[in-house]
Every structure is written in C-alpha cells, then in structure tokens.
C-alpha cells in the first residue's frame, strides 16, 4: 500500500471519529452569569407602562444585548439583586441561574434547554415599579453550543444533538450532554454557567474541542 493510500485511510478515520476534516476546529466558550429574559407584559409590570429596554452592550449573538436594567429575584430563603435583563423582550419570561444561586434562593430549578420552562421552578421578580410572582420560569440552563449551519457542517453535527466538549485551559475539564443549537442567526459559541466555569477555571479566553457523544460512552 502506497503512502498516499495510507494517508487517505488515516484522514477517513479521523473524520469519522471527530465529525470534521481533522483540522483543529476550536469552539470559543462564554460564561453566562445569572440573567433574565422578560416578556413585554412583565417588563411593563416591573418598570412601568410602555417601558422599553435600553442597551448597555451588545452580546456575541447577533441582535442580543445586555440591558442597563436589572431586577431582584427572590425565593423563600433569600434573594439575588442586580440580575441583568437581556434584550430584546421575548414572548415568555425566563430566569437563568446557577445551582449555587438556586441554593441561596431556596429553590430547586430544573436543568433545561433555554425556552423550555413548562413545569419549571416558581420565582418572584422585583423591579423599580412593581413585582410579579411567576409560577414557572426559573431554570438552570443546559450547556449548549450556538452555531450557524456552516459551522454544523464543519463539525458534522445536527440541531438537537448532544455532544461532549473538552475545555482546554488551566484545569482541563470535559462537559457531557452539551446541546447543539443551529440557526443562521447564531455565531459559534458555547455557553456555560458560572458553576461550570468555576469548576474548570474557565475564562472568556478558553476554547473547547468538540467530541462526538458516542466517543465518551
């Protein structure tokens, strides 16, 4: 067998194992601190009739921004102040916290994909103009990767698929059951919460390496 044939076999094996061409396709990792997405109705309850969010800074995902506005979220055991509101306003209100945050609140939110709040934890939201008790809406967000369709093709993954990601940093750590979310609106980035980041000493400069889920079994 000649050298070219051997190289072709090696490249095919690498492609099957990594779901890519064998090149070093790293994924930037972002730490998502506690935050809140508000519906327009709830925004007006908390901040006043007709209120509109004001932009503090753009986020990495196109069209998303951190607002100047913050709220307090409360549970039976305690509260968390200055929780950042992210914009623009959404159809439903959703609050995302870490497990450590939930212990301080005295609540037990489920681990969920963003947007899936049915049957999730209740929470009280407090703003400068009013407060509201939500029967559901508090979650711990499932670690996930935003990517555009061309990124998905590069990594060989599909929307809704779960993968493993190995973080390359001061304290190497692996994340399992990382959800793939694909949209033309997305920019390549993995989102984890502060507990996950602290476990791996992960900062905004940390990158991850995607591994197909079946490799970790």
Closest alpha carbon to 166 in 198, 213, 204: 213
Extract the tokens encoding 110: 């489920």
Task: Domain ranges for the chain, please list them.
Answer: 24-29+143-211, 34-141
pTM summary value: 0.84
Q: Residue-wise over 52-77: b if at least 16 C-beta within 10 A, else e?
A: ebeeeeeeebeeebbbebbbbbbbee
Mean model confidence pLDDT for the chain: 89
Beta strand segments in the chain, E: 26-32, 35-39, 55-58, 65-74, 79-90, 94-96, 111-112, 121-126, 131-141, 144-147, 162-168, 173-182, 189-193, 207-212
What pLDDT digit, counting tens, does each position of 2-56 carry?
444 444 444 444 444 444 444 457 999 999 999 999 999 999 999 999 999 999 9
Measured distance CA(86)–CA(36) in Å, rounded:
6
What pLDDT digit, counting tens, does each position of 119-158 carry?
999 999 999 999 999 999 999 999 999 999 999 999 999 9
- Under the banding of pLDDT at 50, 70 and 90, the label for residue 170 is confident
What pLDDT digit, counting tens, does each position of 202-211 carry?
987 889 999 8
Q: What angle do CA 204, 71, 88 make, to 5 degrees?
A: 65
How much is the pLDDT for 213? 61
* SS3 category, 108: coil
Measured distance CA(63)–CA(88) in Å, rounded:
8
Q: Are the C-beta atoms of 176 and 213 separated by less than 8 Å?
A: yes
Q: Are the C-beta atoms of 143 and 175 separated by less than 8 Å?
A: yes
Measured distance CA(73)–CA(185) in Å, rounded:
30
Measured distance CA(74)–CA(46) in Å, rounded:
14
Domain 24-29+143-211: assigned CATH number:
2.40.40.20
More reliable by pLDDT, 214 or 20: 214
More reliable by pLDDT, 169 or 9: 169
The whole-number average pLDDT for the span 101-125 is: 97
Strand 65-74 relative to strand 79-90, pairing: antiparallel
């Amino acid at each position: 067998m000649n050298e070219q044939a051997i190289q072709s076999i090696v490249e095919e094996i690498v492609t099957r194992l990594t779901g890519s061409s064998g090149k070093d396709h790293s994924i930037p990792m972002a730490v998502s601190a506690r935050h809140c997405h508000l519906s327009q109705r709830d925004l007006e309850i908390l901040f006043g009739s007709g209120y509109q969010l004001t932009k503090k800074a753009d986020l990495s995902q196109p069209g998303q921004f951190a607002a100047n506005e913050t709220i307090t979220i409360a549970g039976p055991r305690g509260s968390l102040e200055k929780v950042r509101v992210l914009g623009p306003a959404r159809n439903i209100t959703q609050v995302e916290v870490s497990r450590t945050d939930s212990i301080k609140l005295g609540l037990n939110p489920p681990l969920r994909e963003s947007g899936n709040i049915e049957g999730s934890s209740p929470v009280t939201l407090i703003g400068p103009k009013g407060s509201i008790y939500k029967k559901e809406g508090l979650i711990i967000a499932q670690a996930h990767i935003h990517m555009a369709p061309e990124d998905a093709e590069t990594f060989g993954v599909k929307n809704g698929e779960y993968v493993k990601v190995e973080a390359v940093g001061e304290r190497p750590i692996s994340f399992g059951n990382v959800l793939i979310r694909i949209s033309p609106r997305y920019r390549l980035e993995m989102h984890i919460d502060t507990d996950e980041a602290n476990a791996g000493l992960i900062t905004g400069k940390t990158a991850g390496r995607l591994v197909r889920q079946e490799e970790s079994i």
